[in-house]
Amino acid sequence: MPGSCDVVVVGGGQGGLAAGYYLRRAGLDYVILDAQSQPGGAWRHGWNSLRLFSPAEYSPLPGWGMPRQEGEEFPTAGHVVDYLRAYEQRYDLRVRRPVRVHEVRPAGERLAVETDDGSWLARYVISATGTWDCPYVPDIPGREEFAGRQPHTVHYTSPEQFRGQRVVIVGGGNSAAQILAEVSRVAEATWVTLRAARFMPDDVDGRVLFGVATRHAQQGSPQGVSDLGDIVMVPSVRAARDRGVLTAQPMFQRLTPLGVAWADGREQVCDAVIWCTGFQPNLAHLAPLGLALADDGVPTVGTRSVDEPRLYLLGYGDWTGPASATLAGAGRTAKATVAEISELLRA
């Protein structure tokens, strides 16, 4: 039943499980509260063809590497879900689900974690809710007038949804490029980006990114891997380039009832606009703490909140550690976070 413990972890995805591994090893009293009904985090909701950028051995959580998937060099999202489920069981992590956290608020010397299953009191809270539940769509004029569909990446499952249609895909990252590669095979697809697309070299995949992120972490650099580019040239994206469809137009100015329009007066009729425009940190449960919000997240020292020192944040992006939103990166930041909490509790 809900009660008191040293640490409450909010979120049972890859970041929460990595934290649980180190909390268990440190012998701390903890609980992981996960809003989802099954293990797997955001990996349970990706599109059908979603795969990792690197082989399984380059995508480990701490303590136990991901087993290889038979017949697949780059594991599918379903394989990742199976791995996270097995990881939970392997280390007997204390995960309670489905438990939705409504708010975290001060309660004297502790923090109160209010949920739909009761209240917890914790000396420290680790927030690891990720970003998948907070898709971002820019406020473009005419969005409410457009008669077609406007799904975000979170709603995309397969290109069959758009077969034979005219589709505009918005975004300059990996999701946009991979969805464009698929949709362009079955539909008339137009790619639109706010800035020129930055492609990584063909020989850069998750293995290289893993190495770059590791060096940045060892050097204490706040940077991630963005200096290499924004789009990994996975096989489907390379094939799209070879077909001549990997060419982006500048961002349109507004939506019309029938399509999109640019500032120079050009208009294009379309049936759907797919917003591959990223995500924002899922931090609504932290509102009672009155945290200052910066453009790149919550001000932190390491992963510790500047405004509320009993709060740590894991896995939201490079502002919580190099590559911290990846499977491999989650372990690094979780290890440092739990080590700091353990030292504070001993003091």
pLDDT (tens digit per residue) in 12-24: 999 999 999 999 9
- Beta-strand ranges (E) seen in 130-286 are 166-170, 188-193, 248-250, 254-255, 259-261, 267-269, 272-275
Average pLDDT, the chain: 92
Identify the pLDDT of residue 211. 64
DSSP letters for 182-205 = HHTTTSEEEEEESS---BPPTT--
For residue 199, give Cα distances in angstroms to 115, 131, 177, 194, 205. 43, 24, 10, 15, 12
- Beta-strand ranges (E) seen in 62-187 are 95-96, 101-107, 110-115, 118-127, 166-170
CATH number of 153-275: 3.50.50.60
Run of H or E including 25: helix 14-25
Can you tell me the distance from the alpha carbon of 93 to that of 106, in angstroms, rounded to the nearest whole number? 26
Which overall architecture, per CATH, does domain 4-133+279-346 show?
3-Layer(bba) Sandwich (3.50)
Can you tell me the distance from the alpha carbon of 210 to that of 329, in angstroms, rounded to the nearest whole number? 8
For the segment 159-172, the average pLDDT, to the nearest whole number, is 97
Identify the pLDDT of residue 232. 87
Q: Is residue 224 within 8 Å of 319, Cβ to Cβ?
A: no
Identify the pLDDT of residue 64. 96
Tokens of 254: 């507004």
For the segment 139-162, the average pLDDT, to the nearest whole number, is 97
Identify the pLDDT of residue 215. 64
Torsion of CA 98, 104, 106, 108, to 10 degrees: 10
Which residues in the chain are classed under CATH 3.50.50.60?
Answer: 4-133+279-346, 153-275
Tokens of 191: 């790619």
Torsion of CA 301, 304, 306, 311, to 10 degrees: 180
Identify the pLDDT of residue 261. 98
Identify the pLDDT of residue 200. 86
Who contacts 321 (Cβ-Cβ below 8 Å, separation ≥6)? 217, 302, 303, 314, 329, 332, 333, 336
Q: CA angle, 172 as apex, 171 and 177 as ends, to 5°?
A: 90
Q: Is the pLDDT of residue 65 over 60?
A: yes
Q: Is the pLDDT of residue 216 over 60?
A: no
Residue 124: pLDDT band (50, 70, 90) is very high
Give backbone dihedrals phi and psi of 32, rounded to 5 degrees, phi first.
Answer: -110, 120
For residue 185, give Cα distances in angstroms to 51, 148, 158, 194, 206. 19, 20, 11, 24, 26
What tens digit of pLDDT does each residue of 77-113 get? 999 999 999 999 999 999 999 999 999 999 999 999 9
Residue 179: pLDDT band (50, 70, 90) is very high
Pairing of strands 272-275, 166-170: parallel
Nearest to 110 by CA among 2, 4, 1: 4
Q: Is the pLDDT of residue 293 over 90?
A: no
Burial of 256 (0-12, 13-18, 19+ CB in 10 A): middle
Of how many residues is the chain composed?
Answer: 347
